[in-house]
């Protein structure tokens, strides 16, 4: 086996031209799959509202340093601002950006897999990516993780292309591209920095090419970071402005943190802070173990890592040749462990699925390799097919039951347009999420408060538990119910649990 360029059943990687064609096909299929149950724009208290507002400020007034860690995600903010200039400052323009970066991730990763391992692994990998709930969510909503992932993947792909190239000039170009892409990934979110440690290890222990090329990559890596730091220094007078702003993110109130804020010191390598985060997944054992177990049982991860664990059992692997290349194993383990340690231990961030995209992506490649080797053995083929089907079903079902994050605004704002008047919302989420869509339609957004003036409308969020009680929803004699807007349900939930929805109750104050 040469440089891990084929899997154990002897299938070689495809040509560069065919890899490009397969990458374009992968992008097309993956983008079409995003049309199914997209997450959408939540708005209001969600982070995507902050990115919209910051990019709108850039659009109207030019680049700004910002005062929060959200404003420091410069590649994301710059991309959204560019979309605003091309398509107008709208939610639709905002949501184009994550889909473009998702296409970049699918294209560069798919081409690398096809080039290295061949058609079978490529096809399996693409199926696992399309059936990944967390990737589907990040590609159809606006958060920095998809930008970080795609730029990091582009960096790794360029680095592997440099090692595969035979001439010095192509190697130099690939290494420079790898450095710039990783620098932009780190500017998006510093958690991508663990990849640089891997490059350092290769440069010192297994260079595979002149070390001067690693120096060129390091310079390219530092270039966008130095430019950004210098720009902030020039505007603020603080050479460590980004570090200081990032370190204060735990002072911003968050429902995901015990006590809302944390004043116990730096957020880096702070295990006391790590214990105070409210777990995002189903596991509630210990802060250091919760993410590891969630990788196996949290539906957001699509059960791919559980599939890897099961495929490693003797009953599934049963033949000494049913193994994946050692070089690939080491690289994928390094990516998974590096991402987990960086997020959970070094930066002590809240352990939620979207922070661990590199882990799940490494698992998808590993699982594709494991299944490909087992499908090549007659005695393992049926077992591998059953396991693959179960993992795909485990990923597709959570995607099919995804509810539109912006359903409240999508129901309320058209109603407001059809029934002019003043609106007051008793729920801060409803008021916040309706703000941007209402302004886009030239309407006055709902006010936040317990009561509406006489003659105006009040909007209340009614939970499904209240709807099932079959009691009158309006008991205040000052109000008269005029409409109930039921939350739209995905097709699968609508068939199985038609009453599992919330609603917006529109009331008019009559006295």
Q: What is residue 378's predicted lDDT score, i.e. its pLDDT? A: 84
The Cα–Cα gap between 196 and 314 comes to 35
Residue 114 gets the label, from left (phi > 0), alpha (psi -120 to 50) or beta, of alpha
Q: Say if residues 322 and 377 touch (Cβ distance below 8 Å).
A: yes
pTM of the predicted structure, to 2 decimals: 0.94
Q: What is residue 199's predicted lDDT score, i.e. its pLDDT? A: 95
The Cα–Cα gap between 312 and 474 comes to 58
Q: What is the dihedral of CA 423, 455, 460, 478, to 10 degrees?
A: 160
Residue 269 gets the label, from left (phi > 0), alpha (psi -120 to 50) or beta, of left
The Cα–Cα gap between 233 and 470 comes to 61
Which residues are CB-neighbours of 387 under 8 A, at least 6 positions away? 307, 310, 311, 316, 371
**List of the chain residues with pLDDT < 50:** 1-10
Q: What share of the chain is helix, strand, coil (3-state, %, to 5)?
A: 60, 5, 30
Q: What is residue 320's predicted lDDT score, i.e. its pLDDT? A: 56
* Model pLDDT for residues 13-47, shown as the tens digit of each residue: 889 899 999 999 999 999 999 999 999 999 999 99
Tell me the C-alpha to C-alpha distance, in Å, between residue 496 and each of 463, 467, 469: 19, 17, 20
State the angle between helix axes of 168-188 and 194-205 in degrees (0 to 180), rounded to the nearest 10: 150
Name which of 142, 149, 147 is nearest 40 in CA terms. 142
Residue 37 gets the label, from left (phi > 0), alpha (psi -120 to 50) or beta, of left
Q: What is residue 8's predicted lDDT score, i.e. its pLDDT? A: 40
Which residues are CB-neighbours of 421 under 8 A, at least 6 positions away? 455, 456, 457
State the angle between helix axes of 144-164 and 91-117 in degrees (0 to 180), rounded to the nearest 10: 30
List residues bridging with 509 in a β-sheet.
479
Question: Beta-carbon neighbour count of residue 206 at 10 Å?
Answer: 9
Tell how far CA 280 is from the center of its chain: 14
Q: What is residue 421's predicted lDDT score, i.e. its pLDDT? A: 95
Q: What is residue 6's predicted lDDT score, i.e. its pLDDT? A: 42
The tokens describing 153, both together, are 């993947």
List residues bridging with 504 in a β-sheet.
461, 485
List residues bridging with 481 in a β-sheet.
507
Q: What is residue 467's predicted lDDT score, i.e. its pLDDT? A: 85
Q: What is residue 468's predicted lDDT score, i.e. its pLDDT? A: 81
The Cα–Cα gap between 231 and 66 comes to 12
Q: Say if residues 368 and 124 touch (Cβ distance below 8 Å).
A: yes
Phi first, then psi: what are they for 326, rounded to 5°?
-60, -40
Name which of 311, 432, 381 is nearest 44 in CA terms. 432
Which residues are CB-neighbours of 110 under 8 A, at least 6 positions away? 19, 22, 23, 26, 27, 122, 125, 126
Biggest alpha carbon distance in the chain?
82
Which residues are CB-neighbours of 166 under 8 A, at least 6 positions away? none
Q: What is residue 495's predicted lDDT score, i.e. its pLDDT? A: 87
Task: Count CA atoms closer than 13 A to 322's CA, side-chain side.
Answer: 24
Question: Beta-carbon neighbour count of residue 447 at 10 Å?
Answer: 15
Q: Say if residues 302 and 360 touch (Cβ distance below 8 Å).
A: yes
Q: What is residue 321's predicted lDDT score, i.e. its pLDDT? A: 55
């Amino acid at each position: 086996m040469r440089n891990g360029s084929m899997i154990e059943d002897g299938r070689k990687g495809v040509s560069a031209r065919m890899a490009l064609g397969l990458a374009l096909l992968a992008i097309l299929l993956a983008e079409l799959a995003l049309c199914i149950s997209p997450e959408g724009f939540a708005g209001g208290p969600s982070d995507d509202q902050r990115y919209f507002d910051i990019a709108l400020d850039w659009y109207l007034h030019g680049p700004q340093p910002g005062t929060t860690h959200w404003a420091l995600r410069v590649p994301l903010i710059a991309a959204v601002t560019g979309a605003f200039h091309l398509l107008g400052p709208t939610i639709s323009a905002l949501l184009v950006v994550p889909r473009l970066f998702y296409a970049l991730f699918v294209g560069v990763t798919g081409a690398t897999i096809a080039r290295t391992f061949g058609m079978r692994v490529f096809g399996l990998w693409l199926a696992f990516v399309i059936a990944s709930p967390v990737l589907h969510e990040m590609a159809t909503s606006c958060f920095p993780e998809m930008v970080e992932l795609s730029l990091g993947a582009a960096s790794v792909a360029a680095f592997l292309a440099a090692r595969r190239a035979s001439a010095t000039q192509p190697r130099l170009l690939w290494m420079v591209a790898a450095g710039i892409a990783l620098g932009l990934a780190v500017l998006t979110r510093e958690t991508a920095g663990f990849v640089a440690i891997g490059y350092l290890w290769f440069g010192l222990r297994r260079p595979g090419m002149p070390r001067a090329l690693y120096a060129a990559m390091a310079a390219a890596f530092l270039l966008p970071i130095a430019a950004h730091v210098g720009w902030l220094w020039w505007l603020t007078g603080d050479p460590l402005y980004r570090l200081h702003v990032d370190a204060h993110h735990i002072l911003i109130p968050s429902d995901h943190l015990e006590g809302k804020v944390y004043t116990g010191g730096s957020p880096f390598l702070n295990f006391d802070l790590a214990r105070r985060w409210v777990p995002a997944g189903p596991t509630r054992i210990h802060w250091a173990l919760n993410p590891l177990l969630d990788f196996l049982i949290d539906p957001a991860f699509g059960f791919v890592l559980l599939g890897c664990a099961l495929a490693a059992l003797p009953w599934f692997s049963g033949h000494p040749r049913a193994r994946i290349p050692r070089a690939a194993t080491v690289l994928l383990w390094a990516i998974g462990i590096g991402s987990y340690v960086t997020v959970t231990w070094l930066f002590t961030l809240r352990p939620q699925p979207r922070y661990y995209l590199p882990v799940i992506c490494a698992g998808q490649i590993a699982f594709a390799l494991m299944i490909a080797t087992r499908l090549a053995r007659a005695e393992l083929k049926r077992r591998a097919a059953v396991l693959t089907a179960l993992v795909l079903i485990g990923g597709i079902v959570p995607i099919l039951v995804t509810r539109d994050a912006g359903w409240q605004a999508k129901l309320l704002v058209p109603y407001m347009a059809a029934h002019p008047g003043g609106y007051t919302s008793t729920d801060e989420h409803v008021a916040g999420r309706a703000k941007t869509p209402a302004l886009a339609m030239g309407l006055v957004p709902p006010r936040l408060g317990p009561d509406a003036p006489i003659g105006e409308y009040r909007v209340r969020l009614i939970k499904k538990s209240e709807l099932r009680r079959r009691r009158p929803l309006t008991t205040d004699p000052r109000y008269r119910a005029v409409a109930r807007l039921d939350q739209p349900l995905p097709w699968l939930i609508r068939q199985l649990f038609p009453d599992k929805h919330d609603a917006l109750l529109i009331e008019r104050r009559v006295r």
